């Protein structure tokens, strides 16, 4: 999957999946632009200073100014991969309204605004490109959203956004898809679920490779898809 010299924005690039994604993109020859919100995470980012990576503080991606800032340096954009999001566990009856709104903002609104910014950047250039969003298993299997209702609803929104936008922009040569991970094998998830069978979880490297194909020029036919990437979980 040759992305030599092509510019790719990766939101959430300093997280576990984001780091694996940036690594895969660099191996494929891409240039990566990584907006970040936390200076501490940016300092720990293993590709900071890499010749193929630019970074920029963008603020809150669920805010128009933050999302637009994330793409300010994205002239000639080929692909945009939207990993940024957040998770909250708990019963709906016990949740504060602020927590519910935060889940919608972090997972759906940020994705909407970044998709909008990506489409604008792609159509301002020669046109064409790839957008890959991150949904989740509860976006496809709603009963899996028990005790994470707001998260499930927001990620289901990401799935609907993906399919609708794919139809809207295909005429401009932009293919929009999403992946829907189950539990990912990350240090944080292992610490939270120490008795789980980690061998059944998808690795971030495997999920990054699936995204890489969807974001590459080799993807000439897949659009509007929400691809399960569950591993054996």
230 is catalytic: no
What are the tokens at 205? 């490297």
Which residue out of 36, 45, 78, 151 is catalytically annotated?
151
Question: Can you say whether the dihedral through the CA atoms of 147, 150, 151, 157 is positive or negative?
Answer: positive
- Annotated catalytic residues are 151
């Amino acid at each position: 999957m040759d992305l030599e010299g092509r510019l790719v924005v990766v939101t959430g690039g300093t997280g576990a999946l984001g780091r694996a994604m940036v690594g895969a993109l660099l191996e494929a020859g891409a240039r990566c632009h990584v907006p970040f919100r936390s200076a501490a995470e940016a300092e720990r980012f293993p590709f900071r200073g890499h010749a193929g990576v630019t970074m920029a503080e963008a603020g809150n991606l669920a805010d128009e100014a933050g999302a637009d800032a994330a793409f300010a340096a994205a002239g000639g954009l080929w692909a945009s991969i939207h990993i940024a999001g957040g998770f909250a566990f708990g019963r709906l009856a016990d949740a504060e309204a602020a927590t519910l709104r935060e889940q919608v903002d972090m997972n759906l609104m940020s994705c909407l605004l970044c998709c909008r910014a990506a489409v604008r950047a792609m159509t301002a250039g020669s046109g064409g490109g790839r957008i890959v969003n991150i949904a989740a298993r509860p976006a496809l299997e709603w009963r899996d959203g028990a005790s994470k209702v707001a998260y499930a609803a927001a990620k289901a929104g990401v799935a609907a956004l993906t399919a609708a936008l794919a139809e809207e922009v295909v005429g401009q040569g932009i293919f929009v898809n999403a992946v829907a991970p189950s539990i990912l094998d990350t240090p944080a998830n292992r610490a939270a679920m120490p008795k789980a069978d980690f061998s059944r979880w998808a690795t971030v490297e495997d999920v990054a490779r699936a995204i890489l194909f969807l974001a590459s020029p080799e993807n000439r036919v897949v659009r509007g898809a929400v691809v399960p990437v569950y591993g054996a979980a």
